[in-house]
Amino acid sequence: MLFLPVGLCAQERFEGAEVAVEATGTTSTGDYAPLWLTANRYGMGSVKPHSLVTHAQLTRALENDSARTWQLGYGVDLALAFGHERRLFIQQAYAEAAWKRLRLTVGAKEQPMEVQNSELSSGALSLGINACPIPQVRLDIDWFSFPGTRGWWQWKLNGSYGMMTDGSWQQDWAQAGTRYVKHALYHEKALYWRFGREDVFPLTYEIGLRMATEFGGTCYNVVTERYNEGQATTLENPKGVKAFIDALLCRGSDATDGSNPNVSGNHLGSYVMQLKYHGRSWQARLYWERFFEDHSMLTVQYGIRDMLLGGEATLPRNPYVSSIVVEYLGTKDQSGAVYHDGTHSLPDAMAGRDNYYNHLQYTGWQNYGQAIGNPLITSPLYNGVFNSPHKLYFYNNRVKAWHVGLSGDPSAEWHWRALASFTRNWGIYDLPLDDRLLQQHYMAEATYQPRWGKGWQGSLAVGYDHGNLLGNSVGCQITVKRVMRVKR
């Protein structure tokens, strides 16, 4: 893949490529940097109070070939970091090709969120932008009209297979005797429907189902009472053709399921909906996401109590506020507190206590210690506050939160944004916190891109955390970036 840009250049496909170099320095008080100086940055942010992250990238967007039948793009992003969980790493390395509504992407690429605003939202529950990208082979089919509906009913699909690359990091980082996983495989799929035509009527409605799976690989130090009576065990999970089919069709079982088989691997996902108003000078939308870990949530067996509910307004052009996002997050219920598999003496089954982002075999919905979903569910990198500093586990997934995001463009050179989150935290069902803990997260950022700067831009961000979950912290972050267009 690294040789691909050379081949594309020989085919006159280097036109429109960009080279960018960037450095971000963060310093703060407290045990951790303020959350919004770290989270939702594709894993590039460090939770440590002092860090420096530099990276250089070469990218070419598909849009450069918008007038051609075939469109080609690629990207390579190399990072060097200090005060980070990783030192020298490849953040992105991908190639992609598109033909009409089809797009094939091979490699690790930062994918934006499908519904939420990547700059202002707290993040998606299943597939967010908090962790670094996972290498995969991905096929996207962009919006197309269902036959006979004249555009009033449109479809969009995607699917992929890949592999998690943090196995060696897990082995080095995890405390001796605790669980870690190497060579885990990855699968993702999604289907979205859109009803309405904004060129005829300003309201459109979208609904979608997206699912993801960790499967295969080797799980070390697995401990469950019903499988191995509390003894640490190494599990070699299936990784042949059947394992790939089971991941696609959500079937099979794990060794730890015992006499009550579920499905093989760590399956999860979410339903998403949004209602959009397409005005001439302003737009607005309401969106909703419901996360699920198993069939009880997938089939809405125990009602709808947990969700991410949000609203966004994009205002007419003005020098004050451009966009407003307000979100409510609730993950406290998780199908209820009772879990019981059916037995001969008590056949009634209660499938509660879903334990979001955790799994009996795998190290949960994380990549390099950062939650792949919403960062307000406390990532394993913060486990020092739970006296388990190097255990890959989510100790706080029962959360209720309000989140607000604002942005503005006072001029063509200036851009600003501000985030504020207010959370109540209960821990997890199996290990509840002694008392409900409160935490607040704030961030204000200003970005300056001078006209005379020829691709230069700089930003200054100030963050503040206050509460008794992650503690108090005040921090400052400075970013300097230079973007240069490649000339043929």
162 assigned to some structural domain: yes
Q: Is residue 84 part of a domain?
A: no
Residue 13's pLDDT is what?
A: 63
Give Cα separations from 101 to 145, 152, 196, 207, 416 (angstroms): 11, 17, 19, 20, 34
Q: Is residue 98 part of a domain?
A: no
Per residue in 394-414, pLDDT (tens digit) is: 999 999 999 999 999 999 999
Least trusted range by pLDDT, from 11-15, 152-156, 426-430: 11-15
**pLDDT tens for each residue of 297-338:** 777 777 889 999 999 999 999 999 999 999 999 999 998 887
State both tokens at 227: 């499988």
Interacting residues of 178 by C-beta distance below 8 A, sequence separation 6+: 221, 390, 391, 392
User: Above 60 in pLDDT, residue 10?
Assistant: no
Q: Is 175 among the domain residues?
A: yes
61 lies in some domain: no
For residues 397-415, one letter each, b for 16 or more C-beta atoms within 10 angstroms of the residue's C-beta and e for the rest, the string is bbbbbebbbbbbbeeeeeb
CB contact set of 35 (below 8 Å; sequence gap of 6+): 375, 421, 441, 463, 465, 470
pLDDT confidence tier of residue 3, bands split at 50, 70 and 90: very low
Q: What is the pLDDT of residues 153-212, one digit of tens each?
A: 999 999 999 999 999 999 999 999 999 999 999 999 999 999 999 999 999 999 999 999
Position 465: which residue type?
D
Q: Is residue 53 part of a domain?
A: no
Structural domain includes residue 86: no
The answer to the question of residue 64 being in a domain is no
- Residue with the larger pLDDT of the pair 224 and 1: 224
Number of domains in the chain: 1
Domain hosting 296: range is 31-36+113-476
Determine the pLDDT at residue 347: 61
